[in-house]
Structure 1
Amino acid sequence: MKGSRLSVVGAAAGSAVLLLSAPAFAHVSVQPEGEAAKGGYAVIDFKVPNERDNASTTKLEVSFPTDHPLASVMPQPVDGWKVEVTKSKLDKPLELHGEKITEAVSKVTWTADGKGIEPGYFQKFPLSVGQLPEDTDELVFKALQTYSNKEVVRWIEVQEGDEEPENPAPVLELSAATDDHHGSGSDDTAASDDAKSESSSGATETAAASADSSDTTARVLGIVGIAVGAAGVAFGVLAGRRRTSS
């Protein structure tokens, strides 16, 4: 009986821990659709779960990093939500595709037209962004989540060390740059030319070897033919002599 009671108490305690720790994982986050490579463009999704049982999420504000500004930000329409893109002047202009950019997106705001994100649900908010910076491994976005009861949760804390803060800011991890984003075409062209040269050289050597083989075969056949012909003549002469003798 004592053992069964202890197991029941342990199970209840474990369930309580799970219930208490679950909200820590339900925070606003950002993930790329595929990869977010340095120097390129990507589609990223802000995932917003509803953490309340008695209110809906009706607004999301995402502030963009000022130390690595993004000149191009295009939202994808989301049913039941209005979106507003706010731009700000840059202290230092950016150069994008040979043009100077004097302003960049500083904030994107989604506001619900209807019920918003109801309890027990989550919503994704996609953005096409670029050009991603090359001198950092991550981008930190700060987000404000507003509920229908006017409560505002500030997801703005930057993680330092291994322990995650209570309200962590969404962080986008950047992957290594690829050839699609950086023109290393000269190297590829050189490699291609080398490959073509090697292929051409190989074909020439193969053709030469084939020609040499054919020539050798012809010579051998010619010698064999001469030998056979000589043998035939000799046989004819001997046969004639035998007939004459007989």
Structure 2
Amino acid sequence: MFHVTSKHSTARRLTVLTAATAAAVCLTAGPAFAHVEVEADKAQALAENVEISFDAESESDTAGITEVRVVLPEGIAPADVTYGEGPKGWKFTAGDDGYTVEGPALKAGVNAEYSVVVKQLPDAEKLAFKTLQTYSDGRIDRWIELDQDGENPAPTLKLRPAAPGAKPASPSPAESETASSSPTPVETEPSSSPAAEAKEKDDDSGLSTGAWVGIGVAVVVVAGGAVYAVRRRTSDQG
């Protein structure tokens, strides 16, 4: 009889221990379950006009999400991203290295779901979108780790290989016009003005214009003096 009671007692203890262990695992693993999910309708390298959807999960029971800031992966420029859909009243703003989607605080516990459209995905195997998630009480969740096994992994989109013949899109018309309208620098010597050319000729002859005028005046004076001297001598002889 004692042996049977011992078995029941042991089984009861194992059940309690298992439940306690499961509860402890749930409590410690809880924060790791929350993250930002990302998916795309055309998750393929070099695909064009791709809509990418994000689901930023809420980790707060007392404050709502007010902002989601994303740092774009290499190969996607902020100018090539446009806003798709998002929470009511939220707006999209492009930055130097990514974009921000923000607006009135969502209800506590509600995820921030939104989408963007990318002009063309780069030729890569996966894209990591580092995300900062801000709440109305100032709390910030940083989903920025590239290690997917980390505590705060960045949302990462895996891409299929590019389709045969797919190539990077050409620059936008605005960029092409800007590049073509820029004049090519050419080194040229400035042309001389007529006055400068005249001066240059005078300098080449060895005498300036003023010098020639002075010589002409001197010749006239000398000639006049000679004429006066001859007339006076003739007058004296007569």
Unaligned residue ranges in structure 1 (runs of 5+)? 89-105, 183-246
Alignment RMSD: 2.3
Given the alignment of the two structures, is residue 36 of structure 1 paired with residue 43 of structure 2, yes or no? yes
Aligned pairs, how many? 158
Greater Rg, structure 1 or structure 2? 2
User: Matches of residues 80-159 of structure 1 in structure 2 within 5 Å?
Assistant: 80-88=88-96, 106-113=97-104, 115-119=105-109, 121-134=110-123, 136-159=124-147
Using the alignment, how far apart are the partners of 2:152 and 2:89 within structure 1?
24
Amino acid at match of 2:13: R
User: Matches of residues 152-167 of structure 1 in structure 2 within 5 Å?
Assistant: 152-159=140-147, 164-167=149-152
The answer to which structure has the higher strand fraction is 1
Using the alignment, how far apart are the partners of 1:112 and 1:16 within structure 2?
37
- RCO greater where, 1 or 2, for CA within 8 Å and sep 6 or more? 1
Unaligned residue ranges in structure 2 (runs of 5+)? 1-8, 168-238
Amino acid at match of 1:40: A
- In the superposition, the TM-score normalised over structure 1's length comes to 0.58
Q: Which runs of 4+ in 1 moved over 3 A?
A: 179-182
User: Matches of residues 188-227 of structure 1 in structure 2 within 5 Å?
Assistant: none
- In the superposition, the TM-score normalised over structure 2's length comes to 0.60
Given the alignment of the two structures, is residue 51 of structure 1 paired with residue 41 of structure 2, yes or no? no
Kindly state the Cα deviation for residue 144 of structure 1 after the two structures are TM-superposed.
Answer: 0.6
Using the alignment, how far apart are the partners of 1:117 and 1:76 within structure 2?
21
Given the alignment of the two structures, is residue 177 of structure 1 paired with residue 167 of structure 2, yes or no? no
Query: Identity of counterpart residues, as a percentage?
Result: 32
Distance 1:79 1:54, change over 3 A: closer
SS of residue matched to 1:127: strand
Distance 1:86 1:177, change over 3 A: same
